[in-house]
Amino acid sequence: MRISHWIDGKPWSGVAERTGEVFDPATGEVRAQVDFAGAGQIEEAVGAAARAFPAWRDTSLAARSRILFSFRELLSARKDELATIVTAEHGKVLSDAAGEIARAIENVEFACGAAQLLKGGFSENASRGVDVYSIAQALGVVGVISPFNFPAMVPLWFAPNAIACGNTVVLKPSEKDPSASVFIAELFAEAGLPDGVLNVLQGDKVAVDGLLSHPAVKAISFVGSTPIARHVYETGTRRGTRVQALGGAKNHMVVLPDADLDLAADAAVSAGFGSAGERCMAVSVVVAVDPVGDELVAGIAERMAGLKVGDGREPDSAMGPLVTAAHRAKVESYVDAGVAAGAELVVDGRAVEVGGGGFWFGPTLFDRVTPEMPIYTDEIFGPVLSVVRAGSYDAALELVNANAYGNGTAIFTSDGRAARRFQNEVEVGMVGLNVPIPVPVGYYSFGGWKDSLFGDSHAYGPEGFHFFTRTKVVT
């Protein structure tokens, strides 16, 4: 099977100079070849978007909203089909894929309100006989660079808002699971989106750098690891491109002595091992505040024993494989490093046996992890959960705030005063109170602090509309 670009309203029909392999993570077999863009395809995609921009910018808000409403209905009707595509290429279980698409639909629904969200301000008689008003206008061609872990949701964090605001889009999905973006483009075309308004450019670093350096691309939205997010932000802003770059994470879940430990253990398992830990909002560190550590670790380990690792298409699988063999090897190297550093390996996922040749790695639990260990300092992006012991609330807070990342965090407690204090004092962009993965609903905005975000605009929601427009004031 061949997966290619979507340019100017149709599949690209040329011959690619370079291609990549797309695997089925549950079998380890190659399921498709994906075309990689070169300079010519980058120019074609950006050129199509640039040509489509003037007419789309001048399309009425009502017409834009009708297309988005139609797209929302098509996406909802075919969500199971899209979930199957996601599972086949990413490996996550079908229920996780379905949840991803449900959150994507929330973002589309928010974008459908463009007419309300793009209203400006008006001041009558600001000076004698002089009125002043503001309008929000589209930027032009915008690039969206999305990661492998949410191949449907993350493109739909950005593309609907950008399109609703009157921009045209070039989407560069991950080369590891590229089919979902083409499926989305096909649905947009069926919904009536004009040719060239949404283009999909497959590829690797060549495509990324091509979008970053192209003079017609006015803004870039990126989600990925922190080193690449920093590169995207610095490269783009150096030439005057507007950039929002969401980076990595090391999300802490603080458990106080008064917490419901059954609830906390359930949350740690679901948040640590859902989607095989391949999500930037996964809980990767549990901070157990004395004296709950032993009981909490025992509860987490007990629940882990009931997790079935298997093909994501099987209804009884709780956790699927990792996305590639190379990523599996990277996760295993971190477990080896944790053992070498002296952490207590409570549950070892390295030797999980599923069969079928897939990229399998079982849920893994470390206890008595310390902040200098690589399994604590680095984003592993796999099913590895570390427990750190803390002597007090203040020590737990200091640990979270000292971390370089500031994406998501959670506290589990029965004390409302402690919860309120934590939400005020913690230096993290998204906070859960007895909620382990505090991803905002579609009418708020997603984004962290510190090394988890480069730029001053979060993704989707109100800040998404702000990012994809610029204000003009008329007197």
Active site residues: 280
Residue burial 183-193, b: 16+ Cβ < 10 Å; e: rest:
bbbbbbbebeb
Q: CB neighbours of 471 closer than 8 A, spacing ≥ 6? A: 120, 134, 135, 136, 137
Q: Is 352 helix (H, G, I), strand (E, B) or coil?
A: coil
Question: What is d(CA 124, CA 453) in angstroms, rounded to the nearest whole number?
Answer: 39
The set of residues, in sequence order, having a beta carbon less than 8 Å from that of 285 and lying 6+ positions away, is: 250, 251, 252, 253, 369, 376, 385, 386, 387, 388
Tell which phi-psi region holds residue 460, choosing left (phi > 0), alpha (psi between -120 and 50) or beta. Answer: left
CB burial of residue 416 (10 Å; 0-12, 13-18, 19+): exposed
**Beta strand pairing call for 217-223 and 141-145:** parallel
Q: Residue 115: which H helix or E strand, with range?
A: helix 114-117
228/152 Cα distance (integer angstroms): 21
